[in-house]
Amino acid sequence: MKNLTLAELATITGGELHGDGTVTVSAVAPMDKAQEGNITFLSNVKYSKHLGDCKASAIMVKESERELCKTNVIVVSDPYVAFAKVAQALDTTPAPAAAIADSASISSDATIGQNVSIGANAVIESGVVLGDDVIIGAGCFIGKNANIGTGTKLWANVSVYHEVVIGDACLIQSSTVIGSDGFGYANEKGEWVKIPQVGSVRIGNRVEIGACTTIDRGALDDTIIEDNVILDNQLQIAHNVHIGYGSAIAGGTIIAGSTTIGKYCIIGGGCVINGHIEIVGGVTITGMGMVMRSITEKGMYSSGIPLQPNKDWRKTATRVHRIDEMNKRLKTVEKLIEKSAES
């Protein structure tokens, strides 16, 4: 358990403390469940009526809600961001590995930085460069000439193929695969001819990648993930995809090859994005979106039919299938009206 004083947390959040700075807290808790020793936050003003009943040792709020609190308060500009910073400061998650395990297999010509930890049964191949403070979890595979930047952490069983470059301060969750072959084949009279994937994957700094995500290497050029991108669990990112700075992609999304996604895009879970298209910066795509063509203007986009009772859904589906027929009938009616008007 980790304890921090409210004065320390005010400094961490850049907030203004109103109350006893010597009070210590050890965890962040939801407002309705918080007790003494917890700190909580209000990010939605519709719950402000409950502030007076909160039993937490401290609450992080905006100035407009400060007078509603009956306990210690840290006034911040964005309580949700403050919550994230406090949660980081109180985090007690163990490291993926400590020191270098005896069972780790490390090539004699790999370059290992200062204070590197490598877990049991990890494999570090020839020419690999690991920066200072890198942590490689148990069972990871780091292929030939891969380069992993300072402070990056890999949880257990991550596979990083040859020539892949990963930047500084990245976090990669268990069983993710980076740099496997893209889906590249030519068809010769019904027979598939494999196209060697000679590009690589380049991942920027401060990128976080969830568990069981696959990022394919490029066919010719590299697959690129820019700085400050967050990728959820179980994504499929195909060869030569380019994801721009600060974008976020939720779980289960599939991105086909050679697609470019701009800066600060937010893509919901379970989306399917066609290959060889471009999505400009600032686009939000809601969950289960099917993107077949390029998106050239920023904004929010959705597709698909939201959940309905099955009886209603069947009616909707029937109407959708009849749109072409209805369109033809409408055009026929329009022509009849035009002829009638002419006569």
The residues that are catalytic are: 239
Q: In what order do the strands lie in the sheet with 111-112?
A: 111-112, 129-130, 147-148, 165-166, 201-203, 223-225, 242-243, 260-261, 278-279
Pairing assessment for the beta strands 123-124 and 141-142 based on DSSP bridges: parallel
Residues 292, 311 contacting (CB under 8 angstroms): no
- For the stretch 220-251, what's the b/e string if a residue is b when 16 or more beta carbons lie within 10 angstroms of its beta carbon? eebbbbbbbbbbbbbbbbbbbbbbbebbbbbb
Instruction: Return d(Cα 81, Cα 94) in angstroms, integer.
Output: 23
Instruction: Output DSSP code: residue 51.
Output: G
**Could you give the CA distance from residue 333 to residue 330 in angstroms, rounded to a whole number?**
5
Helix (H) or strand (E) holding 325: helix 323-342
**Residues in a beta bridge with 40:** 59
The token pair that represents 144 in the structure block: 């030939």
Q: Please tell me the distance from the alpha carbon of residue 193 to that of residue 160, in angstroms, as a whole number.
A: 25
From the centroid of its chain, how far is CA 337?
55
Residue 78 carries which DSSP code?
A: -
CB 164 within 8 A of CB 142: no
- Cβ-proximal residues to 233 (8 Å cutoff; 6+ apart), any chain: 173, 210, 211, 212, 213, 251, 252
